Structure 1
Amino acid sequence: MVAVGDCGSAPASRVEISYGKPGYKGLIQNPFLLFLSCFASIGGVLFGYDQGVISGVLVMHNFAQEFPTLASDSTLQGWMVSILTLGAMFGALANGPIADRLSRRWSILLANAVFLVGSIIQASSVNVPMIFVGRLIAGLAIGQLSMVVPLYISELAPPNLRGGLVALQQLGITAGIMVAFWLNFGTQHIGGTGKGQSPVAWRLPLALQCLFSLVLGAGTYFLPYTPRWLMMKGREEETLSTLSRLRRVPQSDPRVINEMLEIKASALFDKETTAAMFPGVTSRVRLSINRYKCLFTLRHLNRRLLTACLLQLIQQFTGINAIIYYAPQIFQKIGLSGNSVDLLATGVIGILNFLCTIPAIMFMDFWGRRKVLMVGAVGMGISQLIVATLYAVYMNSWTSHRDAGWATAIFVWVYICNFAFSIGCVNWVIPSEIFPPGVRSQAVGIAIGTNWLSNFVVALITPRMLASIEFGTFYFYLGEFDYTSDFAPCKMWLTAREAFCVLLAGWVYFFLPETKGVPIEEMDRIFGGKQGTQDMIRMATICHQLGIGSTAQGLEVKEDACGHVEEAEMP
C-alpha cells in the first residue's frame, strides 16, 4: 500500500519547486519573466488609458460645443461612460473559449485589433452615435484583455512570484490612467480653454491610445505560449522547453521536470474528469457550455466562482470608478475651481494610483492576499467616511472654508492610495490562480465579467448621484446615505446599512483563504475538489503513473496485482 496525495507537492524524491525568493528580490532575479509580464500588461495600460481619458474629455469646452446633449444631460453622460464597461462585460465573458482555442497569446492580439478599431472610431466621431459605437467596440476589447492578461501572466509565473507579476496588470491600468490624466491636462490648452479651444484638445488624447495598441500588437508575436495551455493541447515537448526558457534553467533541472509533471497531472485529471462527466460530448461548443454549467453545479467550483465574483463586486462598489470617471466634477463639488481642479483631478490622483500599486507588486508575495485586503479595506472605509462627513458639514460654505476643501481632497487621495495597493491589485490575482486548468478561462471570464457589470452600474448611476445626492454618493459607497434626497432610483441601493468596505474586511477575515505561494495545481487543497471516491482514484492513478507521490491529503491508495490503483480512502 502506498500513500498518494494531491500530487501537486513533490515527486517521490521530494524535490521542492522553488526558483528563488518571493517579492522584489525574486522579480529582480527573473528579468526575462518580469519583462514578459510587463509587456503583456500593456493590455492593462489600454484599459486604464481609455478609462482615464474620458473624465478629462467630458469637461473640455470644445467637446461640450460639439456634443451639447452629452455635456448637459447627466443620464446620457452616464451612458456614454458606461457603454464601454457594458461592452467589456461581454468581451470578458466571450473570451474564455477564444483563449482556450487560439491560446492566451493570440487572444491578446485579437483583442488588440478590436481595440484599435474602437479607438479610431472614437477619435474621429462627429456625432453621438459614433462615440457610443466606438466606446462599445473598445469596451469589447478591454473586456477581453482584462480577462486574458492576468490569466496569461499567472500561467507563466512560478508560485513565489505569481502575486507580484499578476499585479502588474493593475500597475499597467494605473499607468494608463496617469498618462491619460496628464495628457488631458496638457491638450486642453490647445487653442485655449474657452470658446476658441481646438477640437484637437480632445481628439488627440482619444487618438493616442492607438499608439499603445500598435506597440502591444507588434510585440505579441514575440510572446511565448503558456506552459499550461501547451499541455492542454498535448504539446509536451514545447511545454518542457517553454518552462526551461521561462525559468532560465536547463531542461534537465529537477524543478522544471517536476513542475511539468504537475502541470501534466492536472491536465490529465481535467481531461479524464471531463470525459467522465460529459460522456460522448465531442462538440467544442457543447463541451464549452458544459464547462460553464459545471462552474455552477460542482460545489468546489462554485465556491471558487463565488469567491472570485464577490471580490469583483465589492471592488467596484468601494467607489473607485466613481472617482476615476468623474474626478473633475467631484473636485468642483468641494469648491476647488480653475487650474487647481485640472491638476487635482488629473495629476495627483493618477500619480498616487500608480505609485501606491508598486508596493503590492514588490511585497504581495511576502504579505499575502488577506493581509493586503484587510489593511486596504480599513483605510478606504475611514477615508470615505471622513470625506462624506466633511461635505455634510461644509456643503453650503465651501467658498469660505477653503481648508476644508483641501482636507477633503487629501482624504480622497488617501482613499486612492489604499485602493491601489490592496483590492485594486488582489482582485486580478485571485481569480487567475484559484481555478483548475479545464475551466480556468471560463471562470476568469465570468469573474471579470462581473467586475465590468458592476463597473457599468457605477458609471451609469454616479453622474445622477452627484447631481442629486452629491456627497451622499460617498455615504452610498460606505453604506449610508442622505435620506432627505428625492433621488428615488438609488434609494433601494442606499438602504444597505453595512459599508462595502466593512463588508470587504469582514468577508476577508472570516471566509477568504490565503493563496500566497500555493501552486495553481494545489488549489484543490484549499477549496476542495476531487471530493468523490472516483475523483480521488483518478488523480491518484495519474500521479502514480507519472511517478508523483506525496502525503498532502493523507490518502491511502490500494494497488491491484498489476500496480493499478483500485481504491483511495482516508486512513
Structure 2
Amino acid sequence: MVAVSAAPGIYDAALIRRQTLMGASGPRALVKNFRVFSIAMFACIGGLLYGYNQGVFSGVLTMPAFKGHMGDYDSDNPADQSRKGWLTSILELGAWLGCLLSGFMAETASRKYGILIATGVFIIGVVVQSCSISAGHSAILGGRFVTGMGVGSLSMIVPMYNAEVAPPEVRGSLIALQQLAICFGILISFWIDYGTNYIGGTGATQSDSAWLVPICLQLFPAVVLFAGILFMPFSPRWLIHHNRETEARKVLATLRGLPQDHELVELEFLEIKAQSLFEKRTVAEHWPHLQELTTWNTFKLQFVAIGSLFRTKAMFKRVIVATVTMFFQQWTGINAVLYYAPTIFKELGMDSNTTSLLATGVVGIVMFIATIPSVLYIDKLGRKPILTIGAIGMATCHIVIAGIVAKYRDSWPDHSGAGWGAVAMVWLFVIHFGYSWGPCAWIIVAEIWPLSNRPYGIALGASSNWMNNFIVGQVTPDMISGISYGTYLIFGILTFMGAGFVWWFVPETKRLTLEEMDVIFGSEGTAQADFERMDEINKEIGLDKIARGSNGNHVDIPEEKNGASIKEE
C-alpha cells in the first residue's frame, strides 16, 4: 500500500475519505440522501413524459375515431403507409433536433431552466395536438414535432441534472431512475389507450375523446414538472462553472443536509471546482478563442468540439462504437414494437382492436420489470455479455415470429394458437431488450470518452439514437404492409449483426479507468495529459490535502498499475 500523488490517486483518496464520513452505498444511502432522492424522482417526470409519448401513439393509431378524423392510413396504398410513418416518426425528428440543442441550452440557461424550457416546448406541442380536432392532419404533425423537441431535450438534460445534484455514492441509482421512469411512462400509456378505446364504443360510434384524452393527459405531469422545477435547486456544478461559488456551496450543503463548513461539503465542493477548472483550461488550450463563457462562444464550442472527435484514429474509433451501437439499438426493432404494437398484433392474428391493445399493455409491464435486474447487476456482469446475449435473444425471437407469420398469415382464424405464440415471442423480445440494449447501450456511450470530450461524444451518440429512431418509425408501416414477415427477418438479421459488432469490436468497459480506456482504444497519453492537468489543479485548490484528511494526513490507497488504480473485484 502506498500513498499516490497522481490524479487517479487523489480521487481514490477522496473516495476513501468520503466513505469514512458518509458510509457505503446501497438502500440505506438512498434513505440517508432522501432529499436528493426526492429531487431526482421529481425530475424524472421528464423521463415519464418521454416514455409516455413513445407508447401512447401506437394505440391512438388503431382507434377508429382517429382514423376517421385523420383519413385512412391503414390501406395497402404506399402513400397511406408513408403517411402513417410520418404521423409516428415526426416526433423522433423533433427529438433529434432537441437533443442537439440541449447541450447548449443546459449550459447557457442552466440545467434547471433547461428542463423548464424543454417542458414548456413539450406543453406547446401537446396543446397543438389537442387542437387538431379542428385543424386536422397538419396540426398533429406539427404538434408532434414540437413535442419531440421537448422530449429530446428532456432525455439529455434530466439525467445530467440528476447526476450533478446526486452525491457520488448514490449517483448511479439516481441516473437509473430515468430509465425506469421511461419504462413506466410506456407502461401507463398502453393501459390508458386500452381504457379510453372504449369511449363511445370500439367501432364507428367511437368518440373523438378516445384519442384526445390520452394525448391531453400528458399535460398534467408536464404542468406539474414545469411548475415544480421552479422550486428545485440549481445544479451545484453549473453554479461553480459560472463563477457562482458562494451560492453553489450553499446549495450543496442544503442538498447534503450538512453545514456549509462540513468537511464532506468542502471535499465535494472542491472536486466539482477542480472539474470545472479542468474543463475551462482544456478549452483554453485547444480553443483559446472560445475560452470566455459567453452565449455565442458556448454555442460555437458545441460544433468545434464535436469536430475534434474525428481528428484522430483513436477518437474516430470511439465515434464508431457510440454511433453504431445506437444504430443497432434502434434497428433491433424495439421502437417499431412500441410505436406499432397494436398494428403488429393485428398482423399476428389478434381478432379485434381491443385484444391487440390488451396484448400491447403487457409489453409495457414486461419491459418495466425486465429493466430492474440490469440496474442491479450491470456492473457485476459487464456490458459485452449482457449486450451479446440480449441481441441473440431478440434476433431469435424475430426469426421465430417471421417463420410463424410466413406459415400462418393467410389463416390466422384457424390457427389462433400460432398467433398467440407469435405474441409471446414479441413479449420475450421486449424482455431481452429491457435487460440489455435498453440501459446498456446508453452506458457504453457515456463511458468510452476521455474526460475533456465526454459531453460532445454523448451528444453525438444520442443524436445517432434519435435519427435511427426516426428512420425506423418512418419505414416500419411500409415494411409491414409491403414485405410482411420479411420485416422480422430484417430486424432479426440486423440484431444478429449487432451481437457480432459488440462481441468483436466493442471493448468491455466494466470497471475501467479513463487511462485504461485510452489503452484499449489505442490513444495512450490522452488521459495522461488530462490527469497531469487535473493533478496540477488538485494541488492548486487544496483538494489533494483535504482528500487525505483535514490535517493533511495521507490515506493509504491501492498501489497503481499502468497508471490506473486497481479496483477491488
Asked whether the two chains share a fold, i.e. TM above 0.5, the reply is: yes
**Residue 500 in structure 1 maps to residue 514 in structure 2:** no
Following the alignment from structure 1 to structure 2, what is the Cα–Cα distance between the partners of residues 444 and 530?
21
Following the alignment from structure 2 to structure 1, what is the Cα–Cα distance between the partners of residues 208 and 14?
68
Q: How far apart are residue 225 of structure 1 and its match? A: 2.4
2:93 pairs, out of 77, 86, 96, with 86
Task: Tell me if the contact between 2:99 and 2:153 (Cα under 8 Å) persists in the aligned partners.
Answer: yes
CA 1:416/1:342 → structure 2, altered by over 3 Å: closer, same or farther? same
SS at match of 1:15: helix
SS at match of 1:197: coil
Which residue matches 2:440?
426
Following the alignment from structure 1 to structure 2, what is the Cα–Cα distance between the partners of residues 370 and 264?
34
Q: How far apart are residue 385 of structure 1 and its match? A: 2.5
Task: Tell me if the contact between 2:507 and 2:520 (Cα under 8 Å) persists in the aligned partners.
Answer: no
Counterparts of 1:312-461 in structure 2 under 5 Å?
312-338=326-352, 341-432=355-446, 435=449, 439-461=453-475
1:133 pairs, out of 142, 161, 169, with 142
How many residues get paired? Answer: 535
Following the alignment from structure 2 to structure 1, what is the Cα–Cα distance between the partners of residues 515 and 246?
20
Which residue matches 2:185?
176
CA 1:63/1:543 → structure 2, altered by over 3 Å: closer, same or farther? same
CA 1:69/1:14 → structure 2, altered by over 3 Å: closer, same or farther? closer
Task: Tell me if the contact between 1:167 and 1:429 (Cα under 8 Å) persists in the aligned partners.
Answer: no
Counterparts of 1:160-171 in structure 2 under 5 Å?
160-171=169-180
Which residue matches 1:566?
none
**Residue 97 in structure 1 maps to residue 104 in structure 2:** yes
Q: How far apart are residue 447 of structure 1 and its match? A: 2.0
Deviates more, 1:364-373 or 1:193-202: 364-373
Deviates more, 1:68-77 or 1:103-112: 68-77
Q: How far apart are residue 164 of structure 1 and its match? A: 3.1
Following the alignment from structure 1 to structure 2, what is the Cα–Cα distance between the partners of residues 470 and 191?
32
Which residue matches 1:10?
11
TM-score normalised by structure 1 residue count: 0.84
Q: How far apart are residue 223 of structure 1 and its match? A: 2.4
Task: Tell me if the contact between 2:249 and 2:269 (Cα under 8 Å) persists in the aligned partners.
Answer: yes
- CA deviations 1:333-357 (Å, max 9, x no partner) are 1211126533444321111122222
Following the alignment from structure 2 to structure 1, what is the Cα–Cα distance between the partners of residues 39 and 417?
46
- CA deviations 1:153-205 (Å, max 9, x no partner) are 23334455433322222222221122111111111211111221111111111
SS at match of 1:296: coil
SS at match of 1:512: coil
Task: Tell me if the contact between 1:513 and 1:526 (Cα under 8 Å) persists in the aligned partners.
Answer: no
Deviates more, 1:444-453 or 1:503-512: 503-512
Runs of at least 5 residues in structure 2 that lack an aligned partner in the other structure: 545-556, 565-569
Root-mean-square deviation over aligned CA pairs: 3.2
Task: Tell me if the contact between 1:118 and 1:135 (Cα under 8 Å) persists in the aligned partners.
Answer: yes
Report sequence identity in percent: 38
CA 1:332/1:378 → structure 2, altered by over 3 Å: closer, same or farther? same
Counterparts of 1:10-89 in structure 2 under 5 Å?
10=11, 15-18=16-19, 19-22=22-25, 24=27, 26-72=29-75, 73-89=80-96
CA 1:21/1:476 → structure 2, altered by over 3 Å: closer, same or farther? farther
2:285 pairs, out of 265, 276, 288, with 276
**Residue 146 in structure 1 maps to residue 155 in structure 2:** yes
TM-score normalised by structure 2 residue count: 0.84
SS at match of 2:107: helix
CA 1:508/1:222 → structure 2, altered by over 3 Å: closer, same or farther? farther
Task: Tell me if the contact between 1:121 and 1:131 (Cα under 8 Å) persists in the aligned partners.
Answer: yes
Q: How far apart are residue 392 of structure 1 and its match? A: 2.8
- CA deviations 1:269-317 (Å, max 9, x no partner) are 2211211112233451433432232233366655544433333222111
Task: Tell me if the contact between 2:52 and 2:189 (Cα under 8 Å) persists in the aligned partners.
Answer: yes
Which residue matches 1:513?
508
SS at match of 2:484: coil
Following the alignment from structure 2 to structure 1, what is the Cα–Cα distance between the partners of residues 45 and 55?
15
- CA deviations 1:395-452 (Å, max 9, x no partner) are 3332222211111111110111121122212334444455566654433332222111
Task: Tell me if the contact between 1:174 and 1:353 (Cα under 8 Å) persists in the aligned partners.
Answer: yes
Q: How far apart are residue 9 of structure 1 and its match? A: 4.4
Following the alignment from structure 2 to structure 1, what is the Cα–Cα distance between the partners of residues 260 and 105?
30
Which residue matches 2:567?
none
Task: Tell me if the contact between 1:227 and 1:242 (Cα under 8 Å) persists in the aligned partners.
Answer: yes
SS at match of 2:288: coil
Task: Tell me if the contact between 1:153 and 1:165 (Cα under 8 Å) persists in the aligned partners.
Answer: yes
CA 1:62/1:474 → structure 2, altered by over 3 Å: closer, same or farther? same
User: Which has the larger helix fraction?
Assistant: 2
SS at match of 2:16: coil
Following the alignment from structure 1 to structure 2, what is the Cα–Cα distance between the partners of residues 250 and 188?
54
CA 1:415/1:12 → structure 2, altered by over 3 Å: closer, same or farther? closer
CA 1:312/1:20 → structure 2, altered by over 3 Å: closer, same or farther? farther
Following the alignment from structure 2 to structure 1, what is the Cα–Cα distance between the partners of residues 110 and 385?
34
Deviates more, 1:44-53 or 1:273-282: 273-282
* Higher relative contact order structure (alpha carbons within 8 Å, sequence separation ≥ 6): 1
- CA deviations 1:72-109 (Å, max 9, x no partner) are 41111101111110111011011111111111111111
Deviates more, 1:451-460 or 1:439-448: 439-448
CA 1:475/1:99 → structure 2, altered by over 3 Å: closer, same or farther? same
Runs of at least 5 residues in structure 1 that lack an aligned partner in the other structure: 480-498, 557-571
Following the alignment from structure 2 to structure 1, what is the Cα–Cα distance between the partners of residues 426 and 13?
54
Which residue matches 1:187?
196
SS at match of 1:297: coil
CA 1:361/1:21 → structure 2, altered by over 3 Å: closer, same or farther? farther
Which residue matches 1:539?
534
CA 1:227/1:335 → structure 2, altered by over 3 Å: closer, same or farther? same
Following the alignment from structure 1 to structure 2, what is the Cα–Cα distance between the partners of residues 20 and 302?
40
Q: How far apart are residue 545 of structure 1 and its match? A: 2.3
Following the alignment from structure 2 to structure 1, what is the Cα–Cα distance between the partners of residues 361 and 154?
26
- CA deviations 1:506-535 (Å, max 9, x no partner) are 5157523334597x9997788667628865
